[in-house]
């Protein structure tokens, strides 16, 4: 049962969305002062899953509301993202801090960032407003938001370097200590026009405090080629080391498993408003079966701020070797 407090919180959230939406219609970006602006999005969806020998249920949801504060003052900039998502166990809303960090630009080529920020690893975006389809790839292994310090260095137009030292790459409780190094590094390469490639490494040193200690890692490489202004193709491959190191009971296993993750994607714009995305991805760890899926997702842009898509996802084999069909409709309003 939803409490009165939760109802009031939801009503306040809806009111805030309506106010911000009215601002963005006329301004395209909510600028409060010369040094402060707002952005964000509202994400809603409906969907159903078709699984053999199981009943079919359709559902609809308000998936996420995000409000981002952007501060800028000469060489210093800052960002604070407030995020609203649903809990898995209750029909309620949780509003929390997604990321908050401050950056200082020593020059246009070198900067340092401290606070809570998103991992550099991975081709697919973390937020639905930046994705080309509704779902993520099969078994997506990327890290998420992290607490620490990062540096960005642009060597030239073709080479960029990123490195970070964080409390924990994947948020593992057995690595959440500055005594255990957790880090990321990435090299971005643009060797020719229209081609972008990135190669990165992420590592968490896990320890149970009783002598068992090893490195959980991910080597990530992806490339995107813009065939034309309305057409791109992309591919990604991940090598996973000491994966699934933490057992279901929360204890550290004697050792983790090696694994891999991959995806191939294409996005084609049929018109200025209509596009279609196709994706094939897979995931395998240890002795488990290869999990694969194929996704087709047409999208439509109603306005500069409002878009929608339909996704048809066929999981060819999940963790239990079963197939399933997922159908989703999503609409996102950005400001």
Q: What are the chain's domains?
A: 4-334 (2.40.160.10)
Beta strands in the chain (DSSP E): 30-31, 36-51, 58-73, 76-86, 93-105, 110-118, 145-154, 159-166, 182-189, 195-207, 213-228, 231-243, 257-269, 274-285, 291-301, 306-317, 324-334
Cα–Cα distance between 327 and 314 in angstroms, integer?
Answer: 9
10-residue stretch averages of pLDDT, the chain, 335 residues long:
44 45 47 92 95 82 93 96 71 81 98 98 97 97 96 96 95 69 95 97 83 86 98 99 80 83 99 98 94 98 96 88 91 95
At 52 the pLDDT is 76
Q: Cα-flanking dihedrals φ and ψ of residue 51, to 5°?
A: -125, 135
Global confidence as pTM: 0.86
Residue 65: CB atoms within 10 A of its CB come to 22
DSSP string covering 106-132, please? SSSSEEEEEEEEE-S--SS-SSGGG-S
At 211 the pLDDT is 64
83, 81, 87, 94: which is closest to 6 by C-alpha? Answer: 94
Cα–Cα distance between 229 and 117 in angstroms, integer?
Answer: 30
317: tokens are: 């084999």
Largest CA distance in the chain: 61
Cα separations in angstroms, 109 against 117, 152, 159:
19, 8, 11
What sign results for the dihedral spanned by CA atoms 24, 27, 30, 32? negative
């Amino acid at each position: 049962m939803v409490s009165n407090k939760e109802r009031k919180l939801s009503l306040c959230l809806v009111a805030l969305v309506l106010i911000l939406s009215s601002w963005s219609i006329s301004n395209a970006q909510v600028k409060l002062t010369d040094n402060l602006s707002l952005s964000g999005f509202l994400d809603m969806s409906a969907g159903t899953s078709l699984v053999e020998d199981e009943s079919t249920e359709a559902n609809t949801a308000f998936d996420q509301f995000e409000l981002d504060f952007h501060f800028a003052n000469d060489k210093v900039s800052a960002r604070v993202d407030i995020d609203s998502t649903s809990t898995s166990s209750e029909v309620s809303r949780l509003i929390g801090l997604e990321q908050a960090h401050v950056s200082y630009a020593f020059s246009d080529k070198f900067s340092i960032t401290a606070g809570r920020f998103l991992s550099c690893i991975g081709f697919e975006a973390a937020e639905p407003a930046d994705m080309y389809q509704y779902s993520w790839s099969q078994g997506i292994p990327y890290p998420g938001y992290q607490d620490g310090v990062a540096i960005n260095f642009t060597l030239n137009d073709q080479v960029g370097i990123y490195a970070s030292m964080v409390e924990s790459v994947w948020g593992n409780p057995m690595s959440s200590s500055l005594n255990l190094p957790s880090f990321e590094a990435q090299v971005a390469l643009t060797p020719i026009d229209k081609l972008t490639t990135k190669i990165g490494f992420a590592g968490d040193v896990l320890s149970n405090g009783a002598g068992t200690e090893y490195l959980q890692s991910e080597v990530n490489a992806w490339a995107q080629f813009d065939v034309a202004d309305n057409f791109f193709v992309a591919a990604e491959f991940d090598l996973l080391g000491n994966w699934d190191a933490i057992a279901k009971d929360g204890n550290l296993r004697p050792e983790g498993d090696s694994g891999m993750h991959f995806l191939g994607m294409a996005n084609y714009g049929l018109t200025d408003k209509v596009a279609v995305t196709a994706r094939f991805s897979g995931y395998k760890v240890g002795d488990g079966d290869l999990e694969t899926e194929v996704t087709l997702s047409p999208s439509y842009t109603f306005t500069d701020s409002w878009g929608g898509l339909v996704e048809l996802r066929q999981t060819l084999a999940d963790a239990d070797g079963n197939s399933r069909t997922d159908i989703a409709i999503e609409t996102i309003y950005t400001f």
